[in-house]
Structure 1
């Protein structure tokens, strides 16, 4: 571990030196890459400095204990070393997890699809609640959000809503949301006060560039149609909405939220690339899950991952048996604790896989 950390610290110093060179400001792409790399390394370097400081203090205390010149000083040194031993054990576990290689997809932006499942109107309303939860979480994270496609429900919420999130580590955080979300509550339309169970499905796709996926334009059927629903003066007046069908796979994507046909086509192509890339990614996830019996990232989009129980104010994530009783704040976008627990579990699984290899 120490040799890995020494290399990381050396690279951190090299990056700092490169960033202090005035010439780097003439190359925005290089400066951005160096800034990101520095950010990725900084936390581990700080942990390593803390680790070395604890080791030095531990060694200094050992010398005092061996000298045993003053019983009071010896006792203080022994007490501090017991505390240091606990701190080192905890810190070393944290460092090991941070040393686990990141998935290259984690740094990508994400396209999120939410669809109403079983439960009729209540499922559509719940799909709307999930969208609002993610919108607020995105705001807290400083991410940019763009709507791509909306299919409203008459009683409120959405039959389907597709949106894009752009920012730092978006897919790495949002990927855990893929799956079936179940809600238990009394619907507004329920006159008897009975608790109903409904569901919505969430799919999280990594946004990819043209270089990541090769698409033959001859395989595409592109249709234009008039956008529907709330969306401004252009709605229902021009054929600005775009539907693209990839005939070999049968994948269909739509975008209607931009004002121009060109913009909608561009967004639709991004969605198509992401869907095609996701098919291969899902295969890899299932292979990895089979290898390490992953609880968190199985690639099975039909699995029930979470229950939102409103009468009890309870959220349960079934993958890691996590139960929280702050559902109200969670629905307002405070989902960081859940996501963080899932990220820790994923890193532990990766760490175990590395140690078994």
Structure 2
């Protein structure tokens, strides 16, 4: 940890020099990037100074342990114990700051929820997850939800919901929700009271920007067709629905929730760009993690990541062995404790992987 701290302090000096360079001032994008890094490293420098002061005080206290005066030696022993504990706490608080943030951390997020195995009960569970995330997002000031696509299921459930979360660090906060979510409970339609297991999948994608990747027109096939289902007077009267196929990857995005063909095309392209960026990021992450198993997986959506057990009022995240019996609170959007545990596990893993 101390070696990593020394590297961070050297980097802080380099960033300080670069910010004073006239070439940097003329490059707005570089200036913004260095400014964010300078802000993060500024916290490291401040805490490092406090840590250095405690190190010096600890060295002085240890020298006093050998004094012949029993009273002074006892006082020095208490001071050594206090400073040792304080240094351990300071190092623990420093650890997250020494991990360079993911470049996509500050992006908006595209969240996709789909009912999986389990029929009507899976669709009801997908609706429960949608409400859970909606309430979690509402608790964060500065975040807002924009619905992109919603396909209703039966009995008040949903087959699919796609929405954008806009706000500071939205993707960074939600990224570990990607995966298969499993529910165990007695469905309302179950007369015999038997517990059923069903599932829904969640995908959290970083919102893509034009600079991230270039999509050639020749790589796209765009089909238009008439909207179906609820949607107002224009449904089934105009070819406003849009289906875009990205030929090189085979990804297909359909959009029919907006009022015009142009709006549907823009929304479909937004989702397509995010899925392509997610694919690009997942491939890069797979290459980096090829030699080690990731504890907090962000790419493998076939993996069961969490179980919501209603009879036991229990929620278990299988990736980090986290369990809470406040299922009601979790389903009401109280996810901060769980999210913090996931992010801490990710930091610990990245520190261990780079060691």
Shift of 1:179: 1.2
Shift of 1:315: 0.7
Q: Secondary structure at the match of 1:108?
A: coil
In the aligned structure 1, how far is the partner of 2:248 from the partner of 2:19? 48
Instruction: Look up the match of 2:78.
Output: 79
Cα deviation 1:56-95 (Å, max 9, x = unaligned) = 43244345445x4854343223112112213323432442
Between 162-171 and 232-241, report the one with greater CA deviation: 232-241
Q: Secondary structure at the match of 1:290?
A: coil
Instruction: Look up the match of 1:116.
Output: 115
- Aligned 8 A contact 1:289 1:298 in 2: no
Higher helix share: 1
Structure 2 residues not aligned, in runs of 5+: 22-26
Are residue 6 (structure 1) and residue 33 (structure 2) matched? no
Note closer, same or farther for the CA distance 1:240–1:87 as it changes in structure 2 (3 Å cut). Answer: farther
Shift of 1:309: 0.2
Instruction: Look up the match of 2:127.
Output: 128
Write the mapping of 1:1-357 to structure 2, written as runs, cut at 5 A.
1-7=4-10, 10=13, 36-37=36-37, 39-65=39-65, 68=67, 71-141=70-140, 142-227=142-227, 239-297=239-297, 299-355=299-355
In the aligned structure 1, how far is the partner of 2:98 from the partner of 2:346? 13
- Aligned 8 A contact 1:288 1:294 in 2: no
Q: Secondary structure at the match of 2:330?
A: helix
- Aligned 8 A contact 1:289 1:297 in 2: no
Between 89-98 and 266-275, report the one with greater CA deviation: 89-98
Between 89-98 and 177-186, report the one with greater CA deviation: 89-98
Q: Secondary structure at the match of 1:72?
A: helix
Note closer, same or farther for the CA distance 1:13–1:101 as it changes in structure 2 (3 Å cut). Answer: closer
Root-mean-square deviation (CA), in Å? 3.1
Note closer, same or farther for the CA distance 1:100–1:2 as it changes in structure 2 (3 Å cut). Answer: closer
In the aligned structure 1, how far is the partner of 2:16 from the partner of 2:219? 49
In the aligned structure 1, how far is the partner of 2:224 from the partner of 2:98? 48
Shift of 1:253: 1.0
- Aligned 8 A contact 2:5 2:98 in 1: no
In the aligned structure 1, how far is the partner of 2:234 from the partner of 2:33? 40
In the aligned structure 2, how far is the partner of 1:2 from the partner of 1:31? 24
In the aligned structure 2, how far is the partner of 1:233 from the partner of 1:4? 63
In the aligned structure 2, how far is the partner of 1:182 from the partner of 1:94? 34
Between 300-309 and 240-249, report the one with greater CA deviation: 240-249
Shift of 1:34: 6.5
In the aligned structure 1, how far is the partner of 2:143 from the partner of 2:62? 49
Cα deviation 1:186-215 (Å, max 9, x = unaligned) = 112222222111000111222211221221
Shift of 1:12: 8.1
Note closer, same or farther for the CA distance 1:69–1:188 as it changes in structure 2 (3 Å cut). Answer: same
Shift of 1:135: 1.3
TM-score between the two structures when normalised by the length of structure 1: 0.85
Shift of 1:326: 1.1
In the aligned structure 1, how far is the partner of 2:256 from the partner of 2:36? 34
